[in-house]
Amino acid sequence: MSRDQVHVVVGASGGTGAALVRELLRREYRVRGVNRSGRADVPAGVEIVRGDAADPERMRQVCQDAGVVYNAVNPPLDRWREDFPAVVDGVLAGAEAAGARMVFVDDTWMYGRVSGPMTEDLPERPVCNKGVLRAWLAERVLAAHARGQVATVIGRAPELYGPGVESLLGRTLFGAAVRGRSGLWAGSTTEPLTPMFIEDFAYGLVELGENTEALGQVWHLPTPPPTTAGEFIDGISIESGRRFRVHRVSPGLVRAAGIFSTVAREGAEMLYQFEHPHVIDSTKYRNVFGHGKVTSYEAGIRATLDWYRTRQPARGLIPSGR
């Protein structure tokens, strides 16, 4: 990958987009961040431009001279059905015009309820509307590659946490811990899960963008060994230096809260994943690219608490956050 080519991050203001910007700068690439406002708090040397990802013509403009384009856009939950298809098509148009690769940021909702580790060849059996949409979007991204339209690759992560991430782990655990309040958890505290630190996700996504052998495929990015929500919460207690209490909230109660909250209404259908094993298997990635970047839960929790201490956390209960 030539250092003269620009790496374009569409959705640069989100948790994953901001982490991608940091990782690309660490590797000394030229970085152009794109968001709807054209304004963002980014490190020196990053070019920030305004652009609506759903506008193909604007995407063709902002992706000029790009070698790799990262689609890190995550529309509001209640706008997914209306906005996501147009966003995917718009970013694909921009990458195609530039002759660039396109890295698609993805989750694991298309697999539905599983009883063991999730691998890339697992059948897609979504059990919620947003899982169906995610499966369709991924198919659309890979079809563009199969047609020779755009060289694409998909990187998937389970539940994310870390600086700037809006997720179930972030809003209801770290945000509460730094305010000295009790947290909320909607799910089992004993089922295995593999939370991923946002900087590790960004590292893996850039690796996928750099390597031609990754193209045209789905990859699960590496995480630490499985933990449980109970163990993760204990880690927050240890790193925060105080006993952190968490109240378990049933998915039914979250659905009931949807009467008053759009976020709760839209997010409740995905909470099933925290009542079952939610473990991602990255053997395929490790066999081809090595172990990647894997931050221990202890170090990731410590860094996330430090970030939240410097900011006013958002309020709400919501799964996922690309």
Rounded to 5, what percent of the chain is helix, strand, coil?
45, 15, 40
Whether residue 31 contacts residue 209, with contact meaning beta carbons closer than 8 Å, is answered with no
Task: Give the CATH number of the domain where residue 304 resides.
Answer: 3.90.25
Residue 240 has phi, psi (to 5 degrees) of -85, -15
Question: Could you tell me which residues come within 8 angstroms of residue 226 by beta carbon, excluding any fewer than 6 positions away?
Answer: 192, 193, 194, 279
User: pLDDT tens-digit profile of 136-162?
Assistant: 999 999 999 999 999 999 999 999 999
261 Cβ neighbours under 8 A, 6+ residues apart: 316
Kindly state whether residue 288 falls inside one of the protein's structural domains. no
Does 56 fall in a domain?
A: yes
Whether residues 98 and 126 share a domain: the answer is yes
Q: Are 292 and 286 in contact (CB under 8 A)?
A: yes
Say yes or no: 15 and 148 in one domain: yes
Cα–Cα distance measured from residue 48 to residue 55, given in angstroms and rounded to the nearest whole number:
17
Is 303 a member of any domain? Answer: yes
Contact 193, 223 (CB under 8 A): no
Render pLDDT for 288-301 as a digit per residue (tens, 0 to 9). Answer: 999 999 999 999 99
Q: Using an 8 Å Cβ cutoff, are 127 and 99 in contact?
A: no
Domain CATH code at residue 62: 3.40.50.720
Q: pLDDT tier at 258 (50, 70, 90 boundaries)?
A: very low
Q: Where are the alpha helices (DSSP H) in the chain?
A: 15-26, 56-62, 80-98, 129-146, 168-169, 175-178, 198-210, 229-240, 251-257, 262-267, 283-289, 297-309
* Residues 46-98: tens digit of each pLDDT: 999 999 999 999 999 999 999 999 999 999 888 889 999 999 999 999 999 99
For residue 243, pLDDT beyond 80? yes
Kindly state whether residue 316 falls inside one of the protein's structural domains.
no
202 with 186, same domain: the answer is no
290 domain residue, yes or no: no
Both 35 and 123 in a single domain? Answer: yes
Note the pLDDT tens digit of each residue in 86-134.
999 999 999 999 999 999 999 999 999 999 999 999 999 998 889 999 9
Residues with Cβ < 8 Å from 243, sequence gap 6 or more?
237
Is 204:292 a contact under the CB 8 Å cutoff? yes
| 141 shares its domain with 216 | yes
Question: In this structure, are 170 and 153 located in the same domain?
Answer: no
Same-domain status, 123 and 143: yes
Identify whether residues 71 and 174 lie together within a single domain. no
- pLDDT for residue 252 is more than 90: no
| Shared domain check, 149 and 61 | yes
For residue 289, being part of any structural domain is answered with no
Closest of 72, 58, 64 to residue 104, by C-alpha: 72
CB 192 within 8 A of CB 6: no
Q: What is the pLDDT of residue 313?
A: 46
Q: Which two tokens stand for residue 164?
A: 């700037």
Q: Is 170 in the same domain as 136? A: no
Q: Are residues 111 and 248 in the same domain?
A: no
Q: Check whether residue 133 and residue 262 sit in a common domain.
A: no
| Number of Cβ within a 10 Å radius of residue 139 | 12
Q: Is residue 285 included in any domain, yes or no?
A: no
pLDDT at position 128 is: 87
Domain that holds residue 173: 166-195+225-279+296-309
Number of domains in the chain: 2
Strands 227-228 and 160-161, by their bridges, are: unpaired
In a domain, 151, yes or no: yes
pLDDT at 319: 47
